[in-house]
Amino acid sequence: MNRRNFIRLAGGGTIAAASASTLVACGVVGSHYPAEAVEAWNGPVGETDVRRRAVAYAITAPNPHNLQPWLVDLRESDVITLRTDPERVLPHTDPLGRQILIGHGAFLELLVMALAQQGVASEVSMWPQGELPTALQEWDDRAVARITLKPGGQPDPSFAQVLRRHTPKSDFDTTRAVTPEVLTQLVSGAGAHAPLSTGGTVNADQLPALRTLCWESAKVELLTPRTMMESIHLTRVGPGEILQHRDGISLNSPFVRAVSALGMFDRSAPPAEGSAAYKSAMGRFEGHSRTAMGFVWITGPNTRSDQVRTGRLYVRQQLQATALGVGLHPMSQAVQEFAEMAPHFERVHQLVLGRPAPRSASDPTVQMFCRIGYPQGEVPATPRRPLARFVMA
Ligand SMILES: Cc1cc2nc3c(=O)[nH]c(=O)nc-3n(C[C@H](O)[C@H](O)[C@H](O)COP(=O)(O)O)c2cc1C
C-alpha cells in the first residue's frame, strides 16, 4: 500500500487521502464552525433592550464542556434573575456542581460588565432563596443571583476584550516562553476577589511535575468509562451536529469528520484502545500537557459563593490574558471530585498549595488550574446557542 495516499486509522482502517482532499476542495470539509453557530461573537446585533443586550454578552462566558448552563428570568422589570438549567450539569466529571457554578460566576461578571457598559449599575444579591445543596440530585430551581438594575455603572476597559476572548484548546508554541513579567500581569492584573488567591509559575523546575499531573489526570478521565462517555455524549462532529446543538465539544477537523462519516467513530461506547478516536483524544490531551509553558491557578475556600466568585475572577483573568495576547486554558481533570481522580486531586493540592486535599468547604481548595502559553494560530470562537434559549419569558 502506498502510505502517502492513505490516512492510516489507529483502529486498523485506512481512508484514501485523495478522498479527504477532494472533500476539502469541494468545500465539504473545512475546520471553521458554521457562521450561525458562532453568531454570538458578533455581539447583540439589532437588540435594543438593555437587559437582553447584557445577556447577549454574558452567554459568551467560559463554562465547563461548553454546556452553557444558564437561564435568566426577565419577567420582573429592572431585575435579572439567574438560575441553573437543570438539564445542563455534569454528574460524572463535576459531581458536586462546582465547575457549573464557576461557569455561573463567569456569566455574572460579564453580565454586570455589559450592564455597566450601558450606564447601568448592578446590585447583586447572591442566593436569595439560599444556596444550592451539595448533592447535584437535590438541586432545584432556586436562583443563583438576583441582579437589580440601578442608574449608574462605570464602563470597564476590560470590556473591550469580551468578544475577543476565546479559550485556546490547542498545543502552545514551545519556542515561546511566557516571561515572569507576563505571568505577574496575568496573576495580579485581574484584580482581587477576597477570600480567593491567585498564583502561578513559569519556573522550569516546577513545570515537569505539573505537566505530568495534567497528563496523568487526563488519562484517568479518558479511561474511566462513565466520565469518558459524558464527554462523548456532548461531542458534536461536523457542521450539521454543531449547528443543531451549538454547545458541547465541537470537533470539525477534516480528519475527525472523515472518520465519523465512515462510521468509524462509535459514540455508543468508550473508544477502544488503539482506535482512531482513542488516539485522537489521547493525542489532544498529551499535546496540551506537554506544551504547557506555565500554569496559573485560583485557590480559596469552597462554599457555593466562593465557587461563583471563582468564576467572576477567572473570566477577568481570561480577559486579561486576551489583552496580553497569551493563552489561558483550564486543565480541570486533576481538580475533579470523582473517586477515581482522588490521587491526582490530592497531588494538585500538594503541588499548588503544599497541603493535603480539602476535607471541608473552609479548607483551601484549588478551584481553577490552567496552563498558559502562546497559541500557534488564531484561536477560534466556540459555538453558543441562540439568545432566546437562555431567556425565561
Ligand atoms: C470551570 C471550568 C472548567 C473548564 N475546564 C476545561 C478543561 O478541563 N479543558 C478544556 O479544554 N476546557 C475547559 N474549560 C474551558 C471550556 O471548555 C470553554 O470555556 C468552553 O468550551 C467555551 O469556550 P470559550 O471559552 O472559548 O468560549 C473550562 C471552563 C470552565 C469555566
**Among 33, 59, 63, residue to substitute to test ligand 1 (most atoms within 8 Å of Cβ):** 63
Domain count for the chain, please give it.
1
Residue 2 resides in a domain:
no
User: Could you tell me which residue, 256 or 216, shows the higher pLDDT?
Assistant: 216
Residue 228 resides in a domain:
no
Name the closest-CA residue to atom 1, ligand 1. 99
pLDDT-based confidence at 126, cuts 50/70/90? very high
Integer angstrom CA distances of residue 368 from 28, 165, 188, 300: 38, 17, 15, 10
Q: What is the mean pLDDT of the chain?
A: 91
Q: What's the pLDDT tens digit per position in 106-121? A: 999 999 999 999 999 9
Residue 350 resides in a domain:
no
Residue 18 has pLDDT above 70, yes or no: no
Query: What is the per-residue pLDDT for 14?
Result: 40
Query: Domain of 85?
Result: 35-162+381-386
Residue 276 resides in a domain:
no
Q: Distance from the CA of 370 to the center of ligand 1, in angstroms?
A: 10
Residue 277 resides in a domain:
no
Task: Report how far residue 330's alpha carbon sits from residue 285's, in angstroms, rounded to the nearest whole number.
Answer: 12
Residue 89 resides in a domain:
yes
Q: What's the pLDDT tens digit per position in 319-338? A: 999 999 999 999 999 999 99
Residue 247 resides in a domain:
no
Work out the average pLDDT over 62-86: 97
Name the closest-CA residue to atom 6, ligand 1. 330
Task: Report how far residue 369's alpha carbon sits from residue 348's, in angstroms, rounded to the nearest whole number.
Answer: 9
pLDDT-based confidence at 30, cuts 50/70/90? low
CATH number, domain at 131?
Answer: 3.40.109.10
Integer angstrom CA distances of residue 156 from 159, 316, 324: 6, 11, 16
Residue 126 resides in a domain:
yes
At residue 222, φ and ψ (nearest 5 deg) are -75, -30
pLDDT-based confidence at 253, cuts 50/70/90? confident
Ligand 1 atom having least distance to the Cα of 63: 31
